[in-house]
Structure formats: C-alpha cells, structure tokens
C-alpha cells in the first residue's frame, strides 16, 4: 500500500528537520524518513556561526539557551586562531561567539521539534529510490510513500539526487559533482601525553592552512569537542599531494600538532560537498536541500547553516508549489537561493581559489595580509553578518512559512 502525504522529507538531519518543521508547522501532512534513528552518529565539528543561531530561532524557535539545556550545546567562545604551517598567524576575537554542538543530540532535538509540530517520523527506513515526476518514494525492505512534493535532504551521498540524472530531468552531472567533492577526516581525541592523545586543552577554534601536510585546496581544524578536541582535515581529492592518500596526510597533521603515535587512532571519514552546489536542485516534485544539493560553503566547509537555510527554503518552495504547481515551486526555490545562499557560495568559492592559489605561489604572505588586515571583518564574514562578496553588510531573507 502506498501512503500519501503532502510532503515526504527524505533525511532527518538539519536540512530535513528544518523542512519538516516549517511544513508541519503550517498544518501539512509530512513524513520525515531517515535510514537511522536519532540520536545517531554524525561526523562533524559542530561549529555554529551566528547566522546558524538566527536560523535556529526562525525555523525552530530555539535560542542558544534552549540548545544548552536540551540540545548538546557544550561550548562557546568569541576567540579564534588562524595558523599557517602550524605557527600562529592571528589570534582573533569576534563580536559574536562561535558555538559548538554535539551533532547526535543537536540533530535529535531538531527532528523532535518537527515531530512536536506534527511531522510523522519514520526512523530506520532507508529511501531506495525516488521518482521526481510522480513524487513516489520507494523504501528499502518494501513500502512506498507518495508526496505531492519530495524534499531530498539525505546528505552528501544522497539517493534522491539520483532522480535528477544523469540524463534525467535535472541534468545532474556526476563527474562535476565528484570533482568538487572533498574528502574529510575527523577524530575526537582525549587530552593527555600518551599515544593517540591530544597534548593540550582546546578552548577556541583553530584553522590550519598551508602546512605541507594540509591539502592545498582545503584546511585542517582543531575544535573544542564534547569529550576532547576534534581534529580534522578536508580538501579536494584532486589536490592530494604527491598521490598520497588523505589518511597519510591526516596522520602527518596529527604529528604536526604533537600527537604521539597517531597510527593507532581510529580514523573516520565522510565526503563534504566543497564547491558543488547544484545549479538546478529542483525538478518536478523533487527539491534537494542541504548536502544532497551540494549546499556547503566552499572555503570553510560550513554546512549546518546552509542545510537549515535550504531546508527552510525548500519548504517555502513546496508551500508555493502546493498552491501554484511544480514549476512555481522550482522558481520560488531558485529565487530564494539567489537572494540568500547562492551569492555567498559563489563568492566564497572565488575567495577560496584566490587564497589557496596565492598560498601555493607566495606562501603565507597573502593570507597573513588578508587575515591580519581585518580580523573582525573576517569573523563577521564567517558569522554571516558580512557577505563573502566584498564584505558588504548581509541580511538573511526567509520565505513563506518561516517564523520570525
Ligand atoms: C568532518 C566534517 C566536519 C564538519 N564540520 C562542520 C562544522 O563544524 N560546522 C558546519 O556548519 N558544518 C560542518 N560540516 C558540514 C555539515 O556536517 C553538513 O553540511 C550538514 O550535516 C548537512 O546537513 P544535511 O541535513 O544536509 O545532511 P546530514 O546531516 O548528513 O543528514 C542527512 C540525513 O539523511 C539520512 N539518510 C542518508 N541516506 C538516507 C537514505 N537513503 N534514506 C533515508 N535517510 C537517509 C542520514 O541518516 C542523515 O540523518 C562538517 C562535515 C564533515 C564531513
């Protein structure tokens, strides 16, 4: 039997939860399907910028205090560090704090809000296939769901995205997607002097660039973590140095940071869309949001905000489409993306190639100049108060159905 809904949301991460929360809040029938059950593991640094905090308030009605009480917010600090080749370039302060969440609890909280508003949560059900024209979603192990719209929010390895191509209605280009996909590795280490331990406490986020063992088009990070510092690298695979794999590069990075005998550390990896936001993320009844649509900022790899924003925009587009048809939904989604996230992704991509290119040819000089000339503006750019486009003031716009 096929069960029908106004909207089927595939994936209950931040993008899917945002979409489901907006739509269920408007009284629509919504299925929120996920192959896992919350709280589920999720590899992520968990850094929230100020624009993510704004999105959480608008979409879910959650403040930082709510997150601290219910959703795994465990640390905040206005300090940050930029390091080149392991040496400090800049210790900066931002007007607004960087906040850190533990993703399993955070994601569970967001999905819980969608369910409290009336979404039907279907955990442990993997989407196997989706048809963009009919809105039919087939589940692994049997069963089908029908949506007047389907929001594909099933992450970087999205199954719903396959409905766009190759050669399909959205013209999804698998080769281009692969070229811009970053590899990311991240581990959480206990503090201590022993093998596989991190040698110091970490209270402020650190970004590491330019070390020979950090990928050319990518960077390393050390973030405060809920159980110990989180250390990670991400970079485009085509930027791998000397044909060395990411695991070897990452072990070198751990050595640079003073971790003894890092070979014994269990490594975890996950792909990160890193400059591959889809040009046409909506087709027929299908709208892709979050990592599934490639909506990650391609300089710092920030994805939580873009998942929240595109999830909410996809919901607004579906609301429009339920009134005026599929074509109207695609137009509205395109309009919201063009007014909000798309310019940021385009400009941060340009800045990425400018900075990494300059670093390759001239070493730390250009990046030192960039970072030191305007540390507060840099933080404002990351927080979303200024645009990546020439540092102009930025305000974020939200579509129909998204609260204030
Ligand atoms: C190592 C690493 C560190 C990162 N650090 C940060 C950071 O500090 N700050 C930041 O802003 N961003 C960070 N990001 C990016 C961020 O994690 C992602 O951009 C964000 O999680 C995207 O949210 P999403 O909802 O689109 O996808 P996801 O969070 O991946 O959620 C997708 C959901 O879909 C489900 N799913 C998958 N396949 C199926 C299927 N077939 N059927 C049903 N359900 C399915 C999954 O179980 C999951 O719950 C990091 C990414 C990586 C890899």
Shared-domain flag, residues 308 and 162 = yes
Q: Pick 329 or 352 by higher pLDDT.
A: 329
What is the per-residue pLDDT for 214? 59
Shared-domain flag, residues 14 and 106 = yes
Shared-domain flag, residues 279 and 267 = no
Hey, is 293 helix, strand or coil? helix
Sequence-distant (6+) residues with CB within 8 A of 188 are 225, 226, 227, 228, 229, 230, 231
**Taking the alpha carbons of 313, 315, 321, 324 in that order, is the dihedral positive or negative?**
negative
What is the per-residue pLDDT for 40? 97
Domain presence at residue 28? yes
CA of 4 to the centre of ligand 1 (A): 26
Domain boundary among 239, 255, 273: 273
Shared-domain flag, residues 156 and 281 = yes
Shared-domain flag, residues 362 and 254 = no
Which tens digit of pLDDT belongs to each residue from 323-342? 999 999 999 999 999 999 99
Is residue 318 within 8 A of residue 310, CB to CB? The reply is: no
Q: Which residues have C-beta atoms less than 6 Å from ligand 1?
A: 10-16, 33-36, 42-47, 126-127, 153-155, 159, 184, 186, 232, 270, 272, 290-292, 296, 301-305, 307
The structure tokens 């000089």 sit at: 365
Domain presence at residue 10? yes
- 361, with CB counted inside 10 A (0-12, 13-18, 19+), is exposed
Mean pLDDT of 360-368: 80
CA of 307 to the centre of ligand 1 (A): 8
What is the per-residue pLDDT for 27? 97
Which tens digit of pLDDT belongs to each residue from 64-77? 999 999 988 999 99
Q: Please tell me the pTM assigned to this model.
A: 0.96
Domain presence at residue 78? no
On the question of pLDDT at 11 being above 70, the answer is: yes
Which tens digit of pLDDT belongs to each residue from 285-320? 999 999 999 999 999 999 999 999 999 999 999 999
CATH number of the domain at 41, please.
3.50.50.60
CA of 42 to the centre of ligand 1 (A): 7
Q: Residues 30, 333, 288, CA angle at the centre, nearest 5°? A: 60
CA of 47 to the centre of ligand 1 (A): 13
Shared-domain flag, residues 324 and 358 = yes
Domain with 32 in it:
2-73+98-176+275-366
CA 349/CA 264 separation, integer angstroms: 35
CA 325/CA 320 separation, integer angstroms: 8
Count other C-beta atoms under 10 Å from residue 61's C-beta. Answer: 14
Phi, psi values for residue 257, rounded to 5°:
-85, -5
Q: From the CA of 158, give the closest atom in ligand 1.
A: 38
Shared-domain flag, residues 326 and 352 = yes
Domain presence at residue 38? yes
Mean pLDDT of 79-88: 86
Domain presence at residue 356? yes
- Structurally, the chain folds into a number of domains equal to 2
What is the per-residue pLDDT for 174? 84
| Averaged pLDDT score across all residues of the chain | 92
Pairing state of beta strands 230-236 and 218-223?
Answer: antiparallel
Which of 75, 155, 161 has the most ligand 1 atoms within 8 A of CB, as the residue to mutate?
Answer: 155
Shared-domain flag, residues 62 and 8 = yes
Shared-domain flag, residues 230 and 279 = no
Phi, psi values for residue 328, rounded to 5°:
-65, -35
Least confident of 135-139, 189-193, 273-277, 362-366: 362-366
Which of 72, 231, 301, 308 has the most ligand 1 atoms within 8 A of CB, as the residue to mutate?
Answer: 301
Domain boundary among 273, 295, 330: 273
Is residue 231 within 8 A of residue 189, CB to CB? The reply is: yes
Domain presence at residue 283? yes
Nearest CA to 344 out of 315, 385, 398, 376 is that of 385
Q: From the CA of 305, give the closest atom in ligand 1.
A: 11
What is the per-residue pLDDT for 89? 85
CA of 324 to the centre of ligand 1 (A): 31
Shared-domain flag, residues 61 and 171 = yes
**β partners of residue 222:** 206, 231
Shared-domain flag, residues 215 and 163 = no
On the question of pLDDT at 85 being above 90, the answer is: no
Domain presence at residue 387? no
Domain presence at residue 392? no
CATH number of the domain at 241, please.
3.30.9.10
Shared-domain flag, residues 280 and 268 = no
């Amino acid at each position: 039997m096929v069960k029908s809904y106004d909207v089927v949301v595939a994936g209950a991460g931040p993008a899917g939860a945002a979409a489901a929360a907006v739509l269920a809040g408007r009284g629509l029938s919504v299925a929120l399907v996920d192959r896992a059950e919350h709280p589920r593991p999720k590899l992520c640094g968990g850094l929230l910028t100020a624009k993510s905090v704004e999105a959480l308030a608008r979409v879910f009605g959650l403040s930082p205090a709510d997150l601290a009480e219910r959703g795994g917010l465990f640390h905040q600090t206005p300090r940050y560090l930029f390091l080149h080749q392991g040496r400090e370039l800049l210790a900066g302060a931002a007007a607004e704090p960087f906040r850190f969440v533990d993703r399993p609890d955070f994601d569970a909280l967001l999905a819980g809000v969608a369910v409290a508003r009336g979404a039907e949560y279907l955990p442990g059900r993997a989407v196997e296939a989706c048809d963009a024209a009919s809105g039919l979603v087939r589940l692994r192990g049997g069963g089908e769901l029908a949506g007047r719209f389907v929001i594909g929010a099933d992450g970087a390895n999205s199954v719903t995205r396959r409905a766009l191509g190759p050669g399909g209605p959205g013209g999804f280009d698998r080769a281009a997607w692969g070229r811009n996909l970053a590899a990311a590795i991240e581990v959480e280490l206990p503090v201590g002097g022993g093998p596989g331990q991190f040698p110091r406490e970490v209270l402020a986020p650190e970004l590491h660039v330019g070390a020979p063992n950090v990928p050319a088009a990518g960077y390393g990070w050390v973030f405060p973590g809920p159980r110990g510092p989180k250390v990670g690298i991400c970079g485009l695979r085509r930027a791998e140095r000397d044909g060395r794999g990411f695991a070897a590069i990452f072990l070198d990075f751990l050595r640079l940071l003073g971790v003894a005998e890092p070979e014994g550390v269990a490594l975890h990896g996950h792909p990160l869309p890193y400059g591959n936001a889809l040009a046409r993320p909506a087709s027929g009844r299908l709208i892709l949001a979050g990592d599934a649509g490639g909506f990650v900022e391609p300089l710092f790899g920030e994805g939580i905000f873009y998942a929240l924003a595109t999830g909410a925009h996809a919901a607004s587009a579906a609301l429009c489409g339920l009134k005026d048809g599929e074509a109207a939904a695609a137009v509205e989604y395109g309009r919201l993306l063009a007014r909000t996230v798309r310019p940021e992704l385009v400009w941060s991509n340009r800045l990425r190639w400018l900075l990494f290119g300059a670093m390759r040819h001239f070493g730390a000089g250009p990046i030192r100049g960039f970072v030191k000339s305007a540390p507060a503006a840099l933080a404002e750019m990351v927080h979303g108060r200024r645009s990546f486009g020439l540092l102009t003031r930025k305000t974020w716009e939200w579509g129909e159905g998204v609260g204030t």
